[in-house]
Amino acid sequence: MRGSTIANSSTLEVNRLKRENKELAELIGYLTLIEEIYQTIYYYNNQRTHTSIKMAPVSFRYIYEERLLRQTV
């Protein structure tokens, strides 16, 4: 059956699936990279202790807003 259209079509199908899986793996790799970058930026901007304010920005924002509310009441 070597060289027959059935053998050739199955080989072409296998090659197509390999190519699509490689493209999918690359896409998943890019999406994973984007997610990691997002998490790093989020941590840096919200959770990391900043030396200038000696706390995480989220904590600082909460304390700041509480002080503003007390002043307006």
* pLDDT one-digit tens code per residue, 28-71: 899 999 999 999 999 998 899 989 989 999 999 999 999 999 99
Taking the CB of residue 32, how many other CB atoms lie within 10 A of it?
10
Q: How far is CA 70 from CA 12, 59, 66, in A?
A: 72, 17, 6
CA–CA distance, 33 with 56 (Å, rounded to integer): 25
The pTM of this model reads 0.59
Phi/psi-derived region of residue 30, left when phi > 0, alpha when psi is between -120 and 50, beta in every other case: alpha
Task: Please give the pLDDT value at position 12.
Answer: 79
Sign of CA dihedral 4, 10, 14, 15: positive
* Residue ranges of E strands in 1-73: none
